[in-house]
Amino acid sequence: MAKAPTVEDVARAAGVSRQTVSNVLNSPDIVRGPTRERVQRAIVELGYRPHAAARRLRTRRSSTIGVRLDPYAGGISGVVLDRFVHALTERASERGMRVLLYAARTPAEEIDRIGDLVDGGEIDAVVLTGTSHEDTRTTWLQERDVPFVSFGRPWRSDDDGAPAHPWADVDGAAGTRAATKHLLDQAGPRIAFLGWPEGSGTGDDRARGWSEAMSDAGHTGPRWHTEDSVGLARELVGSVLADDPVDGVVCVSDSLAIGAHLAATALGRPGLPVVGFDNTPAAEALGISSVEQLPEQVAAGVLDLLMGPTGNVVLQREAGQDAAYVLVEPRLVVRGAE
């Protein structure tokens, strides 16, 4: 295999200078038509491909986004993140960006990793997943002026005005609201909500959608809480359902929905309408309705926030500038549970 051609080789072949070749690549519009074509022909003929490292060294841009791959949780979810990363990779590639993974077990370790990658010039920006209250990572990133966007809201602040940093997320409340309306419409007025213990931003947000839809319709229903586990949900629903034969259950997750479904089936009510959240393969397999997040849209939103609507360079946020956000409406997938 011969040595890869450089910009110099292309220049010689096209009878122009290095810089002109570089211009054809990076700002074609400032090169005169005939010259541009000549250079482009030479590029194709020689099979020239720019050397990323050299470009990065000179421009001090890596055109790469860092994403942490969360450790396998063992839970039922994961697909959402999976689809998100995939969509992010695709969309980024369309904008001339790459996605680099890194692994970390703790926030502190994650900060270390990001530091290495940023200082080493390996990444220009970071996409955080799974933000929590008072996230140490976000403050660190802000101090260091590292551009970033989170998949998930900075729950800490009250909803008043500008968020602490740019984020993209799925509108959980809208999802449960749609699910609740659907059940009210199809099943009956008494719809329960099966949620996580209070205090998680995501969980509370989804609970809100249910409670708003219920009071809008002028109905009421019980609200149950448990950890995110099929078994626990099954036990809980099994014991309360006997006394309170509700018309349907909106759940904060597919795990809980599956538990509820199994409990209902065991109690002789296999047809009890249950709606989960995340539309995981497990819910699909069991024919349980679910609210589907659209991580592809979140990914597009993340890139818009990082690079502007059309740019192909990561933007440095101005100091006083308000952080923007993107909120994606999820989609209710209706299935005839069996």
27/106 with CB nearer DNA: 27
How far apart, in whole angstroms, are the C-alpha atoms of residue 194 and residue 198? Answer: 11
Instruction: Kindly list the residues in this chain that would bind DNA in the complex (CB under 7 A).
Output: 3-4, 6-8, 15-23, 25-26, 30-32, 34-36, 48-51, 54-55, 57-60
Distance of alpha carbon 323 from alpha carbon 338, whole angstroms: 45
Q: In the structure encoding, which two tokens stand for residue 132, read together?
A: 């929590």
Count of residues in contact with a copy of itself, rule CB under 8 A:
54
Q: Which does 230 bind (CB under 5 to 8 A by kind): a copy of itself, DNA, none?
A: a copy of itself
Work out how close the CB of 67 gets to a copy of itself at its nearest, in angstroms, rounded to a whole number.
Answer: 8
Residue 41 interacts with a copy of itself (CB under 8 A)?
A: no
| Separation between Cα atoms, residue 84 and residue 90, nearest integer Å | 10
Interface residue with a copy of itself among 9, 25, 40, 86 (CB under 8 A) is: 86
Closest distance of CB 122 from DNA, Å = 12
Q: Is 100 in the site for a copy of itself (CB under 8 A)?
A: yes
Residue 41: both structure tokens together: 């022909």
Q: What residue 227 binds from a copy of itself, DNA, none (CB within 5 to 8 A, per partner kind)? A: none
Cβ burial, residue 86 (10 Å; 0-12/13-18/19+): middle
Residue 255: CB minimum distance to a copy of itself, A: 7
Nearer to DNA, 96 or 287 (CB): 96
319 binds a copy of itself (CB under 8 A): no
Choose the contact partner of 22 out of DNA, a copy of itself, none; CB within 5 to 8 A by kind: DNA
Q: Judging by beta carbons within 10 Å of its beta carbon (0-12, 13-18, 19+), is residue 238 exposed, middle or buried?
A: middle
From the list a copy of itself, DNA, none, partner contacted by residue 19 (C-beta under 5 to 8 A by kind): DNA
Does residue 101 belong to the site contacting a copy of itself (CB under 8 A)?
yes
Residue 331 binding target from a copy of itself, DNA, none, CB below 5 to 8 Å by type = none
Which residue ranges make up the site for a copy of itself (CB under 8 A)?
Answer: 1, 4, 47, 49-54, 56-57, 62, 64, 69-72, 74-79, 82-83, 85-86, 89-90, 93, 98-103, 113, 115-116, 119-122, 144-145, 230, 255, 258, 280-282, 284-286
